[in-house]
A and B are shown apart, each in its own frame.
Chain A
Amino acid sequence: MVVKRIVLLFAVAQVVLPASVAFAAGDAGVAELAAEVGSKGWIVYAARSSENGTWDLFLMRPDGSQRRNITNTPDHEEGGPRFSPDGRRLLYRRFAKGTVIHHDLWGFQGELMIAAGDGSAPVQVGADKEYPWASWSPDGTQIACLTMKGIQIVDLDTKEMVRQLPRKGIYQQLFWSPDGRWFCGVANARIMWTVVRMNAETGELNIVQEFQSCTPDWFPDSKHIIYPSRPAGQKGYGFTQLWMSDGEGGGAKMIYGEDGYHIYGGALSPDAKYVLFTRCAQDGGGSEGAGAPICVMRMADAPAIAGPSPDLRKVHPDAKEAPVLQLVDGWEPCWTYADVGAK
């Protein structure tokens, strides 16, 4: 009888509890954070499907609830989803089944797909490897692509290239700012793995952060950039932390770090009050495997350090113990406040 009750309780918990785990700053603080973000829009991300084993796209509430597979394609892998600025559409890349999604090359791999924000009505745009590193324009009518020849602005209706700028050493992870004035990306500037900002009109380039920094993305204000960075001076290989700077490279500060984990997938909520990231024991973010736990934290709690991290705490003595909501395993999450997931 007791066993039956335990089994029943476990079954109920599986159904009722969101797919989230508390892991930092106490369960009460994390539960409070979960309650705070639970109704604030939707997160889209890629993850290995338990149904078909391939990478699919999923939607969930920011507390991990109402999770559902929105592509469910056993014959393809999908990744790199990005909501359009109004949240009504998604762009992502679709790969042949069995493709190893390379953490640095994925924007060059596969086909560009555009769908409704809930993943419905997917349309293939171009052929394999076309429109690499596609990124939305502010009004969603154009995309910026990073090609060997340069940064190409493409009209989505006509598929015509309307403008091209020299790429000036940018080689991956191009993103257009929400106000349309800038691009950010990873470049060979003075050294490789440098996060840079480019003026979208003039092509003028400035360094944001040098040395072992990558995967930049924009804050909603288009004035700040979030990026993972593996600073020098750590013991051995070191660990990748989540950082931010202003667009000119000033005011660099750590958002979250944890010795033993590499922090990638940094993205902001639309009001910049919360930050998404993934924490992965292996460097690279986990796209070659099954991703890594997606986490949510308040930006007001930055800089934060989790775990013992004694060396990191010496470098950042002002860092806090922040509530961090750990959700399911995934890769490259993106957040919208549009009501794309409501059924």
Chain B
Amino acid sequence: MRHRMARMCCAFVVVPMLCASCAKKTDPGVDAQVTSLGSVEVTAELLEIPGEVRNDPLYDYAHVMKYKVLTVHRGQVDKDVIYVGQYNPAKPRDAAADARVGQIGGNLKQFRVGDVHRLAMEVPIDDYYMGGIINKYFGQTEDPVYWALWTNRVVR
């Protein structure tokens, strides 16, 4: 009898609670900036951060990272894999904006391979950013490098 009660409790109370909990954690990374800034908006998985992410207070730079595009929300993206320049990636996105780059940001705190991001971008990077670029893909691809304006974390 006691076992039956426990099973019923599990079925009708715990499982729905867990599901509700799971549902709460899902986050598509939508906010007013990511859906409006730039001409391209995608959800993409971070595949690779080549080289070391530098944290140098004296010098600013963009670091080119490789992403796999999962969904295109705005604009045109012809490739499944894209290359995106992230400005001073050692900093949380909401602390990365400065006099050089103006309005960039997002809620992402740290870049980790395998994470999924919602990105508002422009392309090519040289039309929107003047500064040092760490691009370990130089000479390996002719694909344009995107410039990340807003980067939010996505929880699937």
Chain A residues within 8 Å of B, Cβ to Cβ: 102, 104-105, 108-109, 146, 148, 167, 169, 171-172, 188, 190-193, 283-284
Note all chain B residues with C-beta closer than 8 A to A192.
61, 132-134
Per-position binary interface string of chain B over residues 75-119, scored 1 when its CB falls under 8 Å from any chain A CB and 0 otherwise: 000000000000000000000000110000000000000000000
- Sorted nearest first, the 8 A-B pairs with minimum C-beta distance are A192-B132, A171-B130, A188-B133, A171-B131, A192-B133, A284-B58, A190-B138, A148-B130
CA of A104 to CA of B133, assembled, Å:
14
Contacts A104-B59, A191-B138, A284-B58 given: A148-B128 contact, CB under 8 Å? yes
Give the CA-CA distance A329 to B99 in the complex, in Å: 26
User: What are 25 inter-chain pairs, A to B, with CB distance below 8 A?
Assistant: A104-B59, A105-B99, A105-B100, A108-B130, A109-B99, A146-B130, A148-B126, A148-B127, A148-B128, A148-B130, A169-B126, A171-B132, A172-B130, A172-B131, A188-B132, A188-B133, A188-B135, A190-B138, A190-B139, A191-B134, A192-B61, A192-B132, A192-B133, A192-B134, A283-B58
Interface assignment of B48: CB less than 8 Å from any CB of chain A? no
List, in ascending order, chain B residues with CB within 8 A of A283's CB: 58
Min CB gap B102→A, angstroms = 12
Chain B residues with CB under 8 Å of A102's CB are 99
Which residues of A are found within 8 Å of B133, using beta-carbon distances?
A: 188, 192
What 6 new A-B contacts, CB under 8 Å, besides A104-B59, A171-B131, A188-B135?
Answer: A102-B99, A172-B131, A191-B138, A192-B61, A192-B134, A284-B58
Residues of B contacting A: mostly: loop
Contact A193 B132 (CB under 8 A): yes
B60 — which chain A residues lie within 8 A by C-beta?
104
Complex CA gap A43/B66 in Å reads 49
Q: Which residues of B contact A193 (CB under 8 A)?
A: 132
Who on chain B is nearest to A147 by CB? Answer: B130
Q: How far is the CA of A167 from the CA of B129 in the complex (A)?
A: 12
Q: What is the CB-to-nearest-CB distance from B45 to chain A, in angstroms, rounded to a whole number?
A: 26
Minimal beta-carbon separation of B88 from chain A (angstroms): 13
**Chain B minimum-CB-distance residue to A193:** B132
CB proximity of B87 to chain A, nearest CB, Å: 13
B61 / chain A contacts, CB cutoff of 8 Å:
192
Q: How far is the CA of A105 from the CA of B127 in the complex (A)?
A: 17
Chain B residues numbered 134-156 whose CB sits less than 8 Å from any CB in chain A:
134-135, 138-139
Chain A nearest Cβ from B101, distance in angstroms: 11
Give the docked Cα–Cα distance between A172 and B138 (Å).
Answer: 20
With the chains together, A148 CA to B128 CA distance in Å? 7
A63→B55 CA distance, assembly (Å) = 41
CA of A271 to CA of B122, assembled, Å: 47
Q: How far is the CB of A181 from chain B (nearest CB, A)?
A: 24
* Inter-chain contacts of A190 with B (CB < 8 A): 138-139
B residues in contact with A191, CB < 8 Å: 134, 138
Give B132's nearest chain A residue, CB to CB. Answer: A192
A191 to B132, CA, bound (A): 9
Query: Per-position contact with A for B36-69: 1 when CB-CB < 8 Å, else 0?
Result: 0000000000000000000000111100000000
Closest to A172 in B: B130
- Chain A proximity of B22: nearest CB distance (Å): 43
Provide the bound-state CA to CA distance between A105 and B100, in Å.
7
- The smallest beta-carbon distance between B53 and chain A, in angstroms, is 14
- Report B-chain residues with C-beta under 8 Å of the C-beta of A109: 99
Chain A nearest Cβ from B133, distance in angstroms: 4
What CA separation (Å) do A50 and B134 show in the bound complex? 41
Residue of A nearest to B136 (CB): A191
A171, A188, A284 — most chain B CB neighbours (10 Å): A188
Q: How far is the CA of A192 from the CA of B62 in the complex (A)?
A: 10
In the assembled complex, the CB of B16 is this many whole angstroms from the nearest CB of chain A, namely 53
Residue of B nearest to A194 (CB): B132
A192 CA to B61 CA in the complex, in Å? Answer: 9
Closest CB-CB distance, A287 to chain B, in whole Å? Answer: 12
